[in-house]
Chain A
Amino acid sequence: MAALTRRLLRPVHTLGKFVMLMAQAVSSIGEVSMYRKNLISQMTKIGIESLPIVSLAAFFSGAVMTVQTAYQMTGPFVPKSVIGSIVAPTMILELGVVGMAFVLAGRVGARIAAELGTMRVSDQIDALEVMGLNSVAYLILPRVLAGVIMFPVLYVAACTIGVGGGIVAADVGGYLSAEAFVQGAQMYFNPFDPFFGLIKAFVFGFLITSISCYKGYYTSGGAEGVGDATTEAAVASCVFMLFADLLLAAAFL
């Protein structure tokens, strides 16, 4: 009975610990000198260095979606520009941001968890604390901040390149001209869509970095523990991201 209660309470306990950690991070936000340098380096690592892979993924998903939509829309009564009307909003609302976040859960999340986990098991975090440093402000805050700042930036790049990929595929593949594509995209353009995408990018940026920081910061059990933390960070990031995606869609659309 007691064991069962404990198992049922585990998620509550974990959530409490997570919230406490984030609360400590947020309450340290005034100690700018503690994390300024790390924030810049994390923005470079999370943002700039992710740009190539995010662009690649976005370009190809835009291109593939265009080819597939063209393949499905072959009826004589459907104007070709519909392809643009489908590809662009999908890219902006869902594919651009979710696809990007999946790539980054692996690239950014796993990296954060492995880095912090290694620091934990080799006593480096304790060493920071013992010097009188606020390890949460020094390690966690800059990573989470870099995430919520850089994910929206990457999202803008991903969308632009994704739609660009669609236009290139449409043109080169001979399905429709770039002008027709853009015209179709403009026809059903809703200014709320990119705004909603930005919100999603912000939320995903928070989820991926904070979950990975949590997993890494509380790693135990040596090299094996670091391996576990890394895997769990990537998996948990993806799962919570999908839930958040659904919740946000239900709330805003």
Chain B
Amino acid sequence: MIQAENLHKRFGALDVLTGATLEVRDGETLAIIGRSGSGKSVLLKHLVGLLTPDEGRVLVDGTDINAISYEHLRTLRHQFGVLFQGGALFDSMTALGNVAFPLRTFTDEPEEEVRRRAEEALARVRLQGTAPKKPAALSGGQRKRVALARAITLEPRYLLYDEPTCGLDPQTSNTINDLINDLADDLNITSIVITHDMHSVLAIADRAALIHDGVIHWSGPTGAFAESDDEVLLDFVRANEYQIGVPSPTSKNGARERNGEKQLAGGVPVS
């Protein structure tokens, strides 16, 4: 279980987090939603100790990650996999090299076994063919999937995704959403997914937390969106609905196709 308690973070004159409190339960998939610049990535970086809060704490299974030694933190981080927004692949290595890197670094397994496991991870994200390619020769969506394969090679308990479908076409987005679901089910991974995309939220998440004005403004099961009368949440959902749910004169085909998302389209009244 990951708990963030009363996190405060300020950059210069900018208060990004002003008391964010969040709980991630074992086995669930939590979506963190919020407008651009609201501090989602900053919050995520706090959860793995890449940023230190000015105030408040982060507990991973009860351990305050900012109160332990760097060595201890590094051991604890083995339980985490993070998919960064741009993939953060090592550009000096091939796709296979990237995926094999954690295995080569942290296990004593023989080379054949490392290759086998790396290839298996690549197969899981359906990218067998790209093994010998360097990141520069991959598309954005492929890079994200290779990064995902790299994040799962050491079988983490927690997987953190920073906007996994941002900037991808709907089909590729769906592939990634399916992958997130598969990984959560097959490997029993607890997932935290930052996203702008309401379609993804409904496709993958059990619960959602909305970050607004530096705090978790609303959180609850995704099924509860429809009953909520929280204005900020409704604004966010409506803005998305406008994008993906309602057929508009300018985007007939795309909008109708994705209109199959009934929960969203039918659940919330559109003003």
Contact = CB atoms under 8 A, between A and B. Distances in A.
Interface of A: 118-119, 122-124, 126-127, 129-134
Nearest to A24: B70
A9 to B, nearest CB: 15
Contact of A133 (B45, B74, B81): B74
A139 to B, nearest CB: 11
A130 B82 contact: yes
A222 to B, nearest CB: 11
B107 to A, nearest CB: 12
A133 B102 CA distance: 9
A250 B220 CA distance: 70
Interface string B32-60: 00000000000001001010000000000
Given A118-B91, A124-B89, A126-B45, 6 more contacts: A122-B91, A127-B84, A127-B90, A130-B77, A131-B106, A131-B154
B77 A123 contact: no
A131 B88 contact: no
Interface pairs A-B: 7 shortest CB-CB:
A123-B88, A127-B88, A132-B77, A123-B84, A132-B74, A130-B82, A132-B78
A123 B74 contact: no
Contacts of B102: 131
B68 to A, nearest CB: 13
Interface string B84-109: 11101111000000000110011000
A116 to B, nearest CB: 12
Contact of A131 (B77, B89, B91): B77
Nearest to B48: A130
12 contacts: A122-B91, A123-B85, A124-B90, A126-B50, A127-B90, A129-B77, A130-B77, A130-B82, A131-B102, A132-B74, A132-B77, A134-B70
Given A122-B88, A123-B84, A124-B90, A130 B105 contact: no
Nearest to A33: B105
Interface string B106-131: 10000000000000000000000000
Contacts of A134: 70, 74
A78 B268 CA distance: 99
A81 B188 CA distance: 82
A134 B84 CA distance: 18
Main secondary structure of the interface of B (DSSP, over half): mixed
Contacts of B45: 126
B256 to A, nearest CB: 37
A130 B82 CA distance: 7
Contacts of A118: 91
A127 B86 contact: no
A12 B48 CA distance: 30
Contacts of B101: 131
B86 A130 contact: no
Interface of B: 45, 48, 50, 70, 74-78, 80-82, 84-86, 88-91, 101-102, 105-106, 154
Contacts of B50: 126, 129-130
A132 B106 contact: yes
A141 to B, nearest CB: 15
Given A122-B88, A132-B106, A133-B105, A127 B82 contact: yes
A92 B167 CA distance: 58
With most chain A CB atoms within 10 A of its CB, the pick from B77, B88, B91, B154 is: B88
Contacts of A123: 84-86, 88
Nearest to B106: A132
B88 A124 contact: yes
Given A132-B74, A132-B77, A126 B84 contact: yes
With most chain B CB atoms within 10 A of its CB, the pick from A122, A123, A126, A129 is: A123
Contacts of A127: 82, 84, 88, 90
A130 B80 contact: yes
A123 B87 CA distance: 8
Nearest to B153: A131
With most chain A CB atoms within 10 A of its CB, the pick from B48, B89, B105, B154 is: B105
B48 A131 contact: no
Nearest to B76: A132
A119 B89 CA distance: 9
Contacts of A124: 88-91
Contacts of A129: 50, 77
A205 B154 CA distance: 38
A122 B86 contact: yes
B75 A132 contact: yes
A131 B105 contact: yes
